[in-house]
Amino acid sequence: MALDTETPLNSLGFAKPPSETRVVVAMSGGVDSSVVAAYLADQGYDVVGVTLQLYDHGAALAKKGACCAGIDIHDARRVAEERGFPHYVLDYENIFKDAVIDEFADSYLAGATPVPCIRCNERVKFKDLLGTAKDLEADCMATGHYIQRKLGPNGPELHCAEDANRDQSYFLFSTTPEQLDYLRFPLGHLPSKGATRVLAAQYGLAVADKPDSQDICFVPNGNYASVIEKLRPGAAEPGEIVHADGRVLGAHDGVIHYTIGQRRGLGIGGLSEPLYVVKLDVDRQQVVVGPKEMLATRTVPVREINWLGDEPFTSRPEWHLSVKVRSTRPPREAVVRPLSDTTAEVELLTPEEGVSPGQACVFYETGGSRIFGGGWIWRGY
């Protein structure tokens, strides 16, 4: 099964033999990046595997379901040894803490719902690691992400993965045109994760049946609050649960335990109507609840926009695109109105519930597969 057919040159797009084409493969120790490395080595490329040590493993040394823990480094090294290419482990703990973990904690404390995996791709993998790949004189860097890089009339374009269930475009919207020129995603056109595991079995990889990572790597068992309390002692200040009409309904043990749109676990049962978290007021230490219709949002302020269109973002007063405001939701039609090169107001044609500051708003071609970038949702003041 071929993995990349996007150019008539070698499979990575270079006019030279694979043996003269050096490619750094970002290896997490999982099946996806292991298949990419094994495939490229099998094709005769000059492969260099690199794994990032991102955080203090501690109890996570043998934890299942999280990337980049100690066992994952071992698995990546084993693939490299078996396939006969060099493998390096880079200690990025300080970079990762400064660029990803600290902002994650601060964002949660500010009442936002951050997406640290996007920041990790943007600030660590596709910045520092990509720079390391260039230092190693690699022609390109390949990853196991499920997304497609296609050559358009104006250069490389970012497109959704063939398998919509595996598509990771939401987490990669901040990839810049310069990074896209250097990156390769050999798995993006595969029909399913099953096809990846078939290839892993064909290559005899021990990780062929390894479970997918589920959690954010530094958040064991998805317990955000416990991580933030360790990072920011005293963060879980108690306060009131307040109805949008001003009534005090109960007490909470920290705003960080709640997210916009949450219904369960509020501890305010016995009311005649179902209530949802509609606002987190950090300054007053209040969790504000209200009826479901209060969650509906039509206008979304977006900043830190990374634009991947062929024309400048501000060259039009508005762009008719589709947008995702959460990773788990399908793109919905919207009008994106630029306010500057990096800020915009997004009007959703159909209101969305639970739009939350700290999440990404990713721009898609309506009815097509191309990604036009995106930005970060904020409060707009």
To the question of whether residue 33 is assigned a binding role by annotation, the answer is yes
CA distances from 275 to 5, 220, 244, 249 (A): 51, 29, 10, 11
Q: Is 32 annotated as a binding residue?
A: yes
26 annotated as a binding-site residue: yes
Given a contact cutoff of 8 angstroms between Cβ atoms, the answer to whether 85 and 45 are in contact is no
Rounded CA separation 129/62 (Å): 24
| Residue 163 counted as an annotated binding residue | no
What DSSP string runs through 199-237?
HHHHTT-TTTTPPPP-S-TTSGGG-HHHHHHHHSTT---
Catalytic residue among 68, 117, 120, 361: 120
Q: Is 52 annotated as a binding residue?
A: yes
Annotation says 217 is catalytic? yes
Starting at the earlier edge strand, list the strands of the sheet with 22-26. 87-91, 46-53, 22-26, 140-142, 183-184
Burial 46-55 (b: 16+ CB within 10 A, else e): bbbbbbbbbb
235 is known to lie in a ligand binding site:
no
24 in a known ligand binding site: no
Q: Where are the beta strands (DSSP E) in 153-294?
A: 155-160, 183-184, 239-243, 248-252, 276-281, 286-290
Q: Is 227 annotated as a binding residue?
A: no
Kindly state the helix (H) or strand (E) to which residue 47 belongs, with its residue range.
strand 46-53
- Catalytic, 140? Answer no
**Is 362 labelled as part of a ligand binding site?**
no
Q: Is 234 annotated as a binding residue?
A: no
Q: Which of 67, 140, 160, 217 is catalytic?
A: 217
List residues with catalytic annotation. Answer: 120, 217
| Residues contributing to the annotated binding site | 26-33, 52, 144
| Residues contributing to the annotated binding site for ATP | 26-33, 52, 144
